[in-house]
Amino acid sequence: MELLKRTAKEQHEALINKEVSAVELVNASIERIEKLDGTLGAFNSLTFESAIETAKKVDEKIAKNEAIPPLAGIPTALKDNMNAVGTKTTCSSKILENFVSPYDATITTKLKENLVPIMGKANLDEFAMGSSNENSAFKIVRNPYNLNKVPGGSSGGSAASVSASEVTLSLGSDTGGSIRLPASFCGITGFKPTYGRVSRYGLIAFASSLDQIGPFGRSIEDVTNLYEAIAGYDTKDSTSLNLEVGNISKNLKRDIKDLRVGVIKELMSEGVSDDVKLATENAIKTYEKLGAKIKEISLPLLKHSIGVYYIVATAEASSNLARFDGVKYGYRAQNCENLLDMYCKTRAEGFGPEVKRRIMLGTYALSSGYYDAYYKKAQQLRRLIANDFEKAFREVDILVSPTCPTTAFDLNSKADNPLEMYLTDIATISSNLVGSPALSMPVGFDKENMPIGLQIIAKKLDELTLLQAAYALEQELGVYNLRPDI
Ligand code: GLN
């Protein structure tokens, strides 16, 4: 297979076997981005020069026969809500259009330590609010499998750039499914670790009790390696977990005969398209064939997760986004009469419609007259949903479901209907409310050749079982080896 379409692991082998140099690999990525990205729209900005500098360092090490980290020299993209010093971090918003990061996010520091060339910043829904990437203030992203369809959101650029082999790996952030949904729509693997596993220092906050950074890649091995490179305790993030990450990549292969697999009943019924259902059932049968024990699990409160999420997430967003006021960062409106006028005009001109809608919803939910009726109730339900999950994980090791009830939808088909858009998150949101690790991996295609993703969820901190279970299925199905014809 063409070099850029290979997995990071295969590219690493090509580098250490001196089949190709890191500079050549990065140049191939540059060429492909230059050729494709005008159509695809996956990147907001590019950092080719520093990527080449990093690649040169990798080549020097290889020339001296020094060992290189597994991801050294592998072309990678960052979602454009993560800071990398001296580069723009726009969140795909006019309000941050010219904001230059004054420091590196912890994930950026770690990628740099691992000599990972960062090719640029990937497009997203404005402030990571959306499921289709149509909420970017700058441009849409197209799905590499069908240019008339959405790539999923909010990490649409991160997913499309890997799917289209512009880069081999990328990072996204997941507040309610923004890694898993686009991974599913673009036919790649996306992994949201346990809340607190990866430092959020330098990630521009959306909803702080839900946000988590995670990897996109073409295989479970690749996302595991990227996860290990970025995970771990960070004193700069007060929600970061001071716990060992463990060595998962060395322990991916496991006999799954004793694995207990729960199928989420509520996510296999109404609204799931026939093709998605079929592919999910096929994945479940494959687990059965491998000797796992299958059990149906009911999560009766799951139906409330969207309601709970859109109260909690908007409440936190309204508070987090208060900092964009024309004084501290980014855009400031001109010709203002006084301070209040400046705040109002800056925010009216700087934020797009979805962001404004959420700030208003969140401010309303937190206002003194309604706090008990909405925010407090949502937090109580959030606890009850977590109890349901804890109970389920006493009976099974992993839970599976479709990542989304449908495959990627047409561009513009839901853009005017926010409620319908919110429903695409039905399967993914609960793991953010609960904090558990979850991933989406490709398991098949529908009749229109659009990819179908399977979601696997494990209990908090059990990334090991999650990734082992996903690896066993991936190796058996082989779908991860397929690439779009672009
Ligand atoms: N689609 C969800 C939303 O719009 C999730 C976004 C995310 O995970 N960042 O809020």
Structural domain of residue 312, as residue ranges?
Answer: 303-379
DSSP per-residue string spanning 164-182: TTS-SEEEEEESSSTTHHH
User: Are 225 and 351 within one domain?
Assistant: no
221 Cα to the center of ligand 1, angstroms: 26
Asked whether residue 165 carries a pLDDT value surpassing 70, the answer given is yes
296 Cα to the center of ligand 1, angstroms: 27
423 Cα to the center of ligand 1, angstroms: 11
Q: Give me the pLDDT at residue 25, please.
A: 98
Q: Domain for residue 404, yes or no?
A: no
Residue among 93, 124, 127, 154 to mutate when testing ligand 1 (max atoms within 8 A of CB):
154
Q: Give me the pLDDT at residue 418, please.
A: 84
User: Are 187 and 67 within one domain?
Assistant: yes
149 Cα to the center of ligand 1, angstroms: 18
Q: Domain for residue 114, yes or no?
A: yes
Q: Domain for residue 392, yes or no?
A: no
Contact 72, 9 (CB under 8 A): no
Residue among 81, 133, 178 to mutate when testing ligand 1 (max atoms within 8 A of CB):
178
User: Are 65 and 207 within one domain?
Assistant: yes
Find tokens 């009976």 and name the residue.
395
User: Are 92 and 206 within one domain?
Assistant: yes
Work out which ligand 1 atom sits closest to the CA atom of 310. 10
Q: Domain for residue 245, yes or no?
A: yes
The pTM assigned to this predicted structure is 0.97
The residue whose CA has the least distance to atom 10 of ligand 1 is 129
378 Cα to the center of ligand 1, angstroms: 17
**What's the Cα-to-Cα distance from 73 to each of 1, 22, 459, rounded to whole Å?**
19, 5, 33
Contact 124, 156 (CB under 8 A): yes
Q: Domain for residue 30, yes or no?
A: yes
**What's the Cα-to-Cα distance from 78 to each of 53, 86, 99, 279, rounded to whole Å?**
17, 14, 16, 30
Quote the number of domains for the chain: 2
Of 354, 379, 404, the residue at which a domain comes to its end is 379
Q: Give me the pLDDT at residue 371, please.
A: 86
Residues having CB closer than 6 A to ligand 1 are 128-131, 154, 174-178, 206, 313, 425
Residue among 123, 126, 131, 203 to mutate when testing ligand 1 (max atoms within 8 A of CB):
131
Residues 6+ apart with CB under 8 A from 324: 95, 96, 330, 346, 347, 350, 351
Q: What pLDDT, in 10s, does the model give residues 227-272?
A: 999 999 999 999 999 999 999 999 999 999 999 999 999 999 878 9
Work out which ligand 1 atom sits closest to the CA atom of 432. 8
User: Are 96 and 19 within one domain?
Assistant: yes
Cis (ω within 30 of 0) for the bond into 209?
no
Work out which ligand 1 atom sits closest to the CA atom of 309. 10
State the average pLDDT over residues 290-312. Answer: 96
User: CB count, 10 Å around CB of 88?
Assistant: 18
Of 340, 356, 379, the residue at which a domain comes to its end is 379
Q: Return the exposure string of 169-203: e unless at least 16 CB atoms fall within 10 Å of the residue's CB, then b.
A: bbbbbbbbbbbbbbbbbbbbbbbbbbbbbbbbbbb
User: Are 136 and 191 within one domain?
Assistant: yes
Name the H helices within 138-211: 156-163, 180-186
The burial class, CB within 10 Å (0-12 / 13-18 / 19+), for 353 is: exposed
225 Cα to the center of ligand 1, angstroms: 25
125 Cα to the center of ligand 1, angstroms: 9
Q: Strands 169-174 and 76-79: what pairing?
A: parallel
User: Are 83 and 148 within one domain?
Assistant: yes
Residues 6+ apart with CB under 8 A from 291: 255, 256, 257, 258, 259
What span, in angstroms and rounded, lies between the C-alpha atoms of 486 and 478? 20
Of 329, 354, 379, the residue at which a domain comes to its end is 379
- pLDDT band with cut points at 50, 70 and 90 for residue 1: low
What span, in angstroms and rounded, lies between the C-alpha atoms of 352 and 89? 17
What CATH code is carried by the domain that includes residue 71? Answer: 3.90.1300.10
User: Are 231 and 117 within one domain?
Assistant: yes
Q: What pLDDT, in 10s, does the model give residues 314-358?
A: 999 999 999 999 998 899 999 999 999 999 999 999 999 999 999
Residues 6+ apart with CB under 8 A from 273: 405, 406, 407, 446
Asked whether residue 379 carries a pLDDT value surpassing 90, the answer given is yes
User: Are 327 and 238 within one domain?
Assistant: no
What is the average pLDDT score of the chain?
Answer: 97
What span, in angstroms and rounded, lies between the C-alpha atoms of 351 and 321? 10
Q: Return the exposure string of 296-324: e unless at least 16 CB atoms fall within 10 Å of the residue's CB, then b.
A: ebebebbebbbebbbbbbbbbbbbbbeeb
Work out which ligand 1 atom sits closest to the CA atom of 424. 1
Q: What pLDDT, in 10s, does the model give residues 117-144?
A: 999 999 999 999 999 999 999 999 999 9
Grouping H, G, I as helix, E, B as strand and the rest as coil, residue 471 is helix
Work out which ligand 1 atom sits closest to the CA atom of 175. 8
Q: Domain for residue 412, yes or no?
A: no
User: Are 251 and 307 within one domain?
Assistant: no
What span, in angstroms and rounded, lies between the C-alpha atoms of 107 and 104? 8
Tell which residue, 4, 99, 88, 94, has the closest CA to residue 47: 88
Residues 6+ apart with CB under 8 A from 341: none
What percentage of the chain has pLDDT greater than the value 70? 100
User: Are 199 and 75 within one domain?
Assistant: yes
Q: Domain for residue 171, yes or no?
A: yes
What are the φ/ψ torsions at residue 395 (nearest 5 degrees)? -100, -30
Contact 248, 467 (CB under 8 A): yes
Q: What pLDDT, in 10s, does the model give residues 171-226?
A: 999 999 999 999 999 999 999 999 999 999 999 999 999 999 999 999 999 999 99
Active site residues: 79, 154, 178
User: Are 307 and 224 within one domain?
Assistant: no
Residue type, 252: L
Q: Domain for residue 120, yes or no?
A: yes
- Strands (E) located in 150-292: 169-174, 189-192, 212-217, 260-264
Distance of CA 301 to the CA centre of its chain: 25
Residue type, 393: F
Residue among 79, 93, 129 to mutate when testing ligand 1 (max atoms within 8 A of CB):
129
- pLDDT band with cut points at 50, 70 and 90 for residue 61: very high
